[in-house]
Structure 1
Amino acid sequence: MGSISVCTFNVNSIRSRVELILRWLNEKRPVDILCFQEIKCEAAQFPAEAFESLGYHVAVNGQKRLNGVAICSKLPLEDVKTRFGVEILDGQKRLIEAVVGETAILNCYVPRGGEEGSEPHTYKMAFYDALRDYAEGLLRRHEKVLLLGDFNVALEDQDVYDPDVFEGAVGFLPSEKEKLRALMAAGLGDCFRRLHPDERAFTWWDYRTAAIWRDEGMRLDYLLASEGLCRELQAIDVDLWTRRRRSPTPSDHAPVVATFGSL
């Protein structure tokens, strides 16, 4: 097998989005490894057959009506993990891990959080601390590591359409940025910025304001890779095809797709 494409996509309900995703895969962009967040269903309700019919292996860590993550891979999934031995990481279904080739892939749906001082904000901060601790162990065990998903933080001013608009907003708080930077400091590079250091590109746009058509968005979705894997990175972009559909109804996120020479 040549180059391998890997996608992170917050689908905001997989059962509502499966028709659109299959159209995207068949008509626009075949992808080797799909990592979904916010699937909003238990494993038994995940439309596994639709992906298996296209040759994917499927692994799911699902939760009724909320959260949930899944990996669908054309390459075999080994050592699939849905529990991590830490209460805050296991309490809600926000993580799934698998080894593909030589690469450990950890698919993450970080909590949205809330205003400073609120319980949701405290939860998000604690989740990030536990995620960093876990990532450090993963990086010790594997040379090639890929943490990807919806991290619910826009890291830099260029990751939002207008920093003044987002001043003090959830997802752009200094405390949140500090936690994401600390996670990356464990030994993970931002694949998008590696190849596009100055480009403004967003992955989420508010449904309520038709923001996609004015490109008034935030970059909340990332592929973070260890140096050993960053060296294999060939291309990465935000694919707007699904987000710009009017029917079937799109997610409020767009997929980010990276191509690696090998995993």
Structure 2
Amino acid sequence: MKIASWNVNSLKARLPNVLAWLEAAQPDVVCLQEIKCQTADFPRLEIESAGYEAHVLGQKSYNGVALLSRQPIEDVLYGLPGDPADEQARYVEGTVAGVRIASLYLPNGNPVGTEKYPYKLAWMDRLYHHARGLLATEQPFVLAGDYNICPTDDDVYDPVGWREDALCRPESRAKFRSLLNLGLTEAYRLFHDEPHRYSFWDYQAGRWYRDEGLRIDHFLLSPRASDRAQGCEIDKEPRGREKASDHTPVVLDLA
């Protein structure tokens, strides 16, 4: 099973690029983030014509996640449990061929001195408790998406300059480590220990051309999913296209 995660930064704006990549890469499951459209406005006809079933949690102009699969998706969960008052569209989860797969868009958290940062940390607490519940089922699962976390200084082009950013602050990284301490495995680091490999490059200041990026798109795997992992790669090709998203796909291979 080939599972891809991609923050597309507006599906409407990137649809030709997304469809071209789906045709070329042929992933079995795709976790999309920041689709930036309401559920009813999701381009279902185009995605289904490409061979994918789609389950979508959308929101006007912001956020939005989708789970696509060539195989049936069962027992779909819309929204991260733990806060019924949370109206932001950031989480969708379903079962594909016996594997529980989630597409998540973790809050950015900036500016740190506003309510956005406590919201980010509280969201991560909810994810922690949900992951703990998933572990108790002993079903293999994959939590894929834009975590808006650089786990270490190796994952950011300028560690000093980004030290106080919500993506790199110690509190954010500690919450991420708490997920790993549950027994989850960060898939990319299972196969790659080299520093400064990125999945996001800002549009400003020529970051892409200077390879000044961040690695914030991750797969966290349960032990049973980790045992099946055969590779995890960052596909940089789509980031170099015209009208590209500022993120590029990350791809996980499971036996």
Q: Please indicate the TM-score interval, normalised by the length of the shorter structure.
A: over 0.9
The separation in 1 between residues aligned to 2:138 and 2:100, in whole angstroms, is: 7
Q: Percent identity?
A: 37
Q: Which moved more, 1:159-168 or 1:237-246?
A: 159-168
How many residue pairs are counted as aligned between the two chains? 255
- Asked if 1:256 is matched to 2:253, the reply is no
Q: Aligned pair 1:94/2:66, yes or no? A: no
Question: After the TM superposition, which residues 137-216 of structure 1 pair with which residues of structure 2 at under 5 Å, given as runs?
Answer: 137-216=133-212
What's 2:129 paired with? 133
Taking the aligned partners of 2:185 and 2:177, their CA distance within structure 1 comes to 10
Distance verdict in 2 for CA 1:89–1:78, change over 3 Å = farther
**1:50 aligned residue:** 46
Unaligned runs of 5+ in 1: none
- Write the letter of the residue equivalent to 2:4: C
Partner deviation per Cα, 1:43-98 (whole Å, 9 max, x = no partner): 11111111111211110011111111001101110001104442268421100010
Match status 1:16 vs 2:10: no
SS at match of 1:212: coil
Counterpart of 1:34 (choices 7, 10, 30) is 30
Q: Classify the secondary structure of the residue corresponding to 1:52.
A: helix
Residue 178 of structure 1 aligns to a residue whose secondary structure is: helix
C-alpha separation in 2, matches of 1:88 and 1:163: 36
Residue type of the alignment partner of 1:57: E
- CA gap 1:40/1:61 in 2 versus in 1, 3 angstroms: same
> Which sections of structure 2, spanning at least 5 residues, go unmatched?
none
Secondary structure (helix, strand or coil) at the match of 2:56 reads strand
The answer as to 2:105 corresponding to 1:109 is yes
Q: Is the 8 A contact 2:81 2:130 kept in 1?
A: no
Check whether the contact 2:5–2:144 (CA below 8 A) recurs between aligned residues: yes
Question: CA–CA distance in 1 between the matches of 2:81 and 2:212?
Answer: 39
SS of 2:240's partner is: coil
Q: Deviations over 1:185-221 (max 9, x none)?
A: 2221000000112343101111011211111000000
CA shift for structure 1 position 131: 1.0
1:236: how far off? 1.2
Contact 1:203 1:219 in 2 (8 A): yes
Q: CA deviation at 1:242?
A: 1.0
> CA separation of 1:209/1:226 partners in 2, compared to 1, >3 Å: closer, same or farther?
same
TM-score, normalised to structure 2, is: 0.96
Residue 245 of structure 1 pairs with residue 241 of structure 2:
yes
Contact 1:203 1:253 (C-alpha < 8 Å) held by counterparts: yes
What letter matches 2:180 in structure 1?
A: M
